[in-house]
């Protein structure tokens, strides 16, 4: 049935409402007489009613008109319309009672209508008036619904968010969705129903997909168990089921959720793990009321660190970076997210010692979180002098100034590429680690190093690259089918840095539990599937060959190192070899080589400082000792 698109005349709606009320009145009389009455009884009742019927119509008309129940568009009837109808019908009945009492005491001794008739008429009129409106609304919604192929949908999460998702989808006439059911991790909800829709335990997902022909899953649960979510998503990808998710309620516009906000699941949702539990009291005791310097503050890790630190009420956070535009973006984000957060932005370069000395002298930071670094392996392989200038000399400047200005703790962020390095970048970070560890020996400042692998979504990482390639139609470029990497989210990494920094006593290298390594080709395949595309059909994966200095597999510990547990299950302490003083002197010689700009001399000196540095797929392999 197709309803006309034009609005029904308002007078017609009033006539229909009055007709429904009259029908409700006569229906009430039928009920009162048990649906049977002889002609004499009917005649007697009509004699009484005939004097009241015009009053009935007049009262209904005036009240309905005053409450404007005819003004709303019937096909868009809402709970507000229902509220107005309820009060209009209730007021009409109240007026009939008052007029009935007046008739009894001042006229012929009869009520306008018997009490039982008024009660039944009230219910009948209300139900008929609202029922017709909602029936027309449903017919209209069905008539304008998208005629595209119907999506057979499961909603993951049978809680409040799931229920709101169901209602929102059903209200959106543009979406051709058929909600088959809910799935939930709570076994007690299995085989129950929610608003007429079946609830299934999540363990039944795979069979449901095959039996019911599910084409889409919407993740509506806000805080799912990470392992369960990963299992659910893996099943969907395996069976070509599109996966979308409902955003956090905080992002709903004016507290209301719209189907336009349903977005695609990110690859981070497949790689995430259990939330990290921090010793917030310990971290707060260290950072609250302190002046803190964050270098590389505009970068992925640096800005993530700032966001975490802001929760611990520092006295002041100095945001240091040479990247002007990203600093401006960070400033805007901080002003929006933490309006009372006290910070100072400094545009500067850690390689400029004089500039850094003035910064330390002016702000006198008590804690330093050093995240500034060059990190791209192929670029640093071609520019060893710049890697040394930033990653080694820049770190040395900060370490020396931290000692001079008696910083309480200096926490350096390193990388898994510093372990048995095969490239200039990894070796430069290992040399920075060595210098920071050596400085701890005779200093009041506690120098601490944290080491972890790739960070999901960080600037220049593989995931943004793959995403851009997908948006451009491919291909996704992969250096080798065998290549694997460890991954961690930005919040995870930053939280663990704070935890490690708070527990550190100086000289340690803390290694984070990165979970299982991930094959990059699997990552690429899943990202294509999450975009609703097929590998080989919509987008290709192209193997390009290993880049200079690139490893197939990353490591977190060198052979000479072992680990000791800490109080945090995701943080281990690496026990590293003690470097001799002559190694530190070699670092000064390495920095001095920057003036010559001779890459071979620079890399040779790096290999002398870090004997385990063996180049891989690089022009510098000739410098390795056979």
For the annotated catalytic residues, the residue numbers are 417
**Following DSSP, what letter does each residue of 200-237 receive, concatenated?**
EEGGGHHHHHHHHT--EEEE--SS--HHHHHHHHHHHH
| β-strands 263-264, 242-245 pairing | antiparallel
The helix (run of H) or strand (run of E) holding residue 574 is: strand 571-575
Q: What is the largest CA-CA distance in the chain?
A: 123
The first and second tokens of residue 507, run together, are 């000289």
State the burial class of residue 435 (Cβ atoms within 10 Å of its Cβ: 0-12, 13-18, 19+): buried
d(C-alpha 21, C-alpha 96), whole Å: 13
Chain Cα centroid distance, residue 259: 16
Q: CA separation (Å) from 34 to 21, 29, 31, 48, 523? A: 20, 9, 5, 19, 72
β partners of residue 368:
293, 410
Strands 316-321 and 343-347: what pairing?
A: parallel
Please give the distance of CA 426 from its chain centroid, rounded to a whole number: 32
For residue 28, the SS3 value is helix
Q: For residue 236, what are its two tokens?
A: 């969907």
Contact yes or no for 179/155 (Cβ under 8 A): yes
The set of residues, in sequence order, having a beta carbon less than 8 Å from that of 132 and lying 6+ positions away, is 16, 20
Angle at 397 between CA 342 and CA 316, to 5 degrees: 10
Q: Residue 541: phi, psi to the nearest 5?
A: -110, 120
Beta bridge partners of 470: none
List strands edge to edge, sheet with 446-452: 343-347, 316-321, 291-295, 367-370, 409-415, 446-452, 509-512, 571-575, 562-565
Question: Helix crossing, 490-503 with 300-309: angle to 10°?
Answer: 60
For the range 144-150, what are the long-range contacts, defined as Cβ-Cβ under 8 Å and sequence gap of 24 or more? 144/173, 145/173, 145/174, 145/175, 145/176, 146/173, 146/174, 146/175, 146/176, 147/176, 148/176, 149/176, 150/176, 150/177, 150/178
Q: What kind and span of H or E run contains 284?
A: helix 280-287
H helix or E strand, kind and range, residue 184: strand 177-184
């Amino acid at each position: 049935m197709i309803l006309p698109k034009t609005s029904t005349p308002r007078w017609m709606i009033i006539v229909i409402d009055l007709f429904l009320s009259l029908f409700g009145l006569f229906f009430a009389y039928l009920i009162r007489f048990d649906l049977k009455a002889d002609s004499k009884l009917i005649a007697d009742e009509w004699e009484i009613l005939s004097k009241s019927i015009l009053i009935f119509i007049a009262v209904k008309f005036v009240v309905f008109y005053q409450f404007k129940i005819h003004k709303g568009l019937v096909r868009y009837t809402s709970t507000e319309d229902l509220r107005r109808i309820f009060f209009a019908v209730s007021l009409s009945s109240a007026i009939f009672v008052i007029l009935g009492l007046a008739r009894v005491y001042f006229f012929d001794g009869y009520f306008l209508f018997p009490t039982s008739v008024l009660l039944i008429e009230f219910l009948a009129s209300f139900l008929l008036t609202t029922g017709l409106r909602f029936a027309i609304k449903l017919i209209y919604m069905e008539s304008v619904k998208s005629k595209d192929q119907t999506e057979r949908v499961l909603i993951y999460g049978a809680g409040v968010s799931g229920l709101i998702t169901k209602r929102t989808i059903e209200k959106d006439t543009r979406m051709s969705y058929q909600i088959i059911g809910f799935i939930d991790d709570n076994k007690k909800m299995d085989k129950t129903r929610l608003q007429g829709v079946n609830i299934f335990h999540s363990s039944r997902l795979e069979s449901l997909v095959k039996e019911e022909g599910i084409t889409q899953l919407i993740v509506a649960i806000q805080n799912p168990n990470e392992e369960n979510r990963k299992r659910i998503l893996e099943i969907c990808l395996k069976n070509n089921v599109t996966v979308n998710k409902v955003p956090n309620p905080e992002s709903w516009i004016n507290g209301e959720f719209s189907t336009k906000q349903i977005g695609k699941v990110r690859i981070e949702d497949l790689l995430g793990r259990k939330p990290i539990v921090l010793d917030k009291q310990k971290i707060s005791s260290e950072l609250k009321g302190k002046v803190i310097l964050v270098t590389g503050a505009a970068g992925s890790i640096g800005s993530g660190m700032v966001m975490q630190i802001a929760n611990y009420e520092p006295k002041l956070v100095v945001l240091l970076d040479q990247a002007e535009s990203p600093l401006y973006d960070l400033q805007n984000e901080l002003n929006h997210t933490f309006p009372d957060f006290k910070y100072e932005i400094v545009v500067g370069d850690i390689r400029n010692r004089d500039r850094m000395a003035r910064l330390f002298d002016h702000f006198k930071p008590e804690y330093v979180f050093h995240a500034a670094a060059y990190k791209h392996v192929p670029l640093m392989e071609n520019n060893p002098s710049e890697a040394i200038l930033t990653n080694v000399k820049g770190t040395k400047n900060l370490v020396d100034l931290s000692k001079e200005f008696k910083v309480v703790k200096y926490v350096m962020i390193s990388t898994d590429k510093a372990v048995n390095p095969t490239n200039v970048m990894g070796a430069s970070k290992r040399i920075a680690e060595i210098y920071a560890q050596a400085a701890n020996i005779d200093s009041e400042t506690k120098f601490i190093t944290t080491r972890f692998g790739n960070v999901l979504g960080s600037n220049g990482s593989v995931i943004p690259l793959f995403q851009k390639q997908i948006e451009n139609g491919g291909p996704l470029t992969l250096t080798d089918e065998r290549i694997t990497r460890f991954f961690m989210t930005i919040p995870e990494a930053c939280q663990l840095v704070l935890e490690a920094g708070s527990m550190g006593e100086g000289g340690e290298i803390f290694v984070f539990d990165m979970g299982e390594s991930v094959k990059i080709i699997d990552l690429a395949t899943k990202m294509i599937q999450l975009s609703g595309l097929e590998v080989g059909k919509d987008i290709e994966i192209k193997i390009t060959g290993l880049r200079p200095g690139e490893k197939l597999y990353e490591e977190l510990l060198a052979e000479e190192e072992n680990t000791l547990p800490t109080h945090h299950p995701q943080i281990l302490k690496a026990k590293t070899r003690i470097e001799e003083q002559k190694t530190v002197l070699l670092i000064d010689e390495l920095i001095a080589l920057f003036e010559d700009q001779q890459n071979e001399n620079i890399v040779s000196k790096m290999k002398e400082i870090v004997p385990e540095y063996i180049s891989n797929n690089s022009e510098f392999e000739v410098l390795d000792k056979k």
